[in-house]
Amino acid sequence: MFSNKSILITGGTGSFGRAFVKTVLERHPDIKRLVIYSRDELKQFEMSQTFSERQYDGLRYFIGDIRDENRLRRALEGIDIVIHAAALKQVPAAEYNPFECIKTNVLGAQNLIEACLDADVQQVVALSTDKAAAPINLYGATKLCSDKLFVAANKIKGKRDIRFSVVRYGNVMGSRGSVIPFFQQRRSTGVLPITDPAMTRFNISLDDGVKMVLWAIKNALGGEILVPKIPSYRITDVAQAIGPECEHPVVGIRPGEKIHEEMITSSDSLNTVDLGAYYAILPSADDDIRREYLARPDVSAVPVGFAYDSGTNTEFLTVDQLRDLIAGLQA
């Protein structure tokens, strides 16, 4: 799949970026070029201690911000595939600094689209979030806008041979800023604060997130938003798995938070198909991609009114399963 290909990943020093780079280098150590594009020189230095340019001839570290279109254009020279993982993701920070989030998540996305069109990139896979479905916070709204930009980019590519797709999934287990490392840090205090006892979230491992992006690179037609079928967890079960001996006071949800997260709304059901391991939300104005997907024997349209949210999900992780998964993160 990556024979003689050059790949760039924005936000490449983040949790997903590190996992993606690790997987690609393990499977394709002789890759032509793998560019880690991010704005934090310290994180790039730290990452280079594990993934060295001396060890991997095709590896490159490129300091830059997706807000800077000129720098993006320089970084994209000769690149075939782009994975877009850069974003401002913290919900409270986005509520307090809304336009900073817009600059990165929306204007940065459009900068990347324009630069990819001009650089003859062949494929772009953008990472999204469950918070982009029926958003109630600024972060989710910016990611919904970003998703729309990447989907619509397929309509302005002209005769260029390029595909833009989106991968949308839930909380990545153990990622920086998520509830599991927060609870682990607080366990020694004897208190794990619970926002709301009814709260649920989707859960995906870093490995499964990488696997899904690799699947999208190989299979996506362009214009779809891909959604994985993944389990949910209850926040109370996470607290029980990490600190059963701790107190679990209820402190209330933070500004912009939902009790349950959605990935496919009932309004999306008219344009959603079931691919087996994944769902695909198709662009409403593109009958060709719908016909192409439904022509496949293992693909079917979801029922009208179908919705996919963490509270009504059919699969939930138990406390023991959560404990085992968390132990695996520490191994």
List, by residue number, the catalytic residues: 131
Residue 81: closest CA among 151, 161, 22: 161
Residue 68 tokens, joined: 């800077």
Q: What is the DSSP letter of 130?
A: G
Integer Cα distance of 9 and 48 in angstroms: 15
Q: Hey, what amino acid is at 131? A: K
Contact 174, 203 (CB under 8 A): no
Task: Give me the residue label for tokens 């807000």.
Answer: 67
CA 255 to each of CA 258, 259, 312: distance values in angstroms, whole numbers, following the listed order: 9, 12, 23
47: part of which helix (H) or strand (E)? helix 41-50
* Alpha-helical runs (H) found in 153-301: 179-186, 206-219, 235-242, 287-294
Length of the chain: 331
Burial class (CB in 10 A: 0-12, 13-18, 19+), 199: buried
Residue 230, CA atoms < 13 Å, CB-side half-sphere: 29
Q: What is the DSSP letter of 303?
A: P
Q: Packing angle between helix 15-27 and helix 206-219, nearest 10 degrees?
A: 60
Residue 26: partners with Cβ closer than 8 Å, 6 or more residues away: none
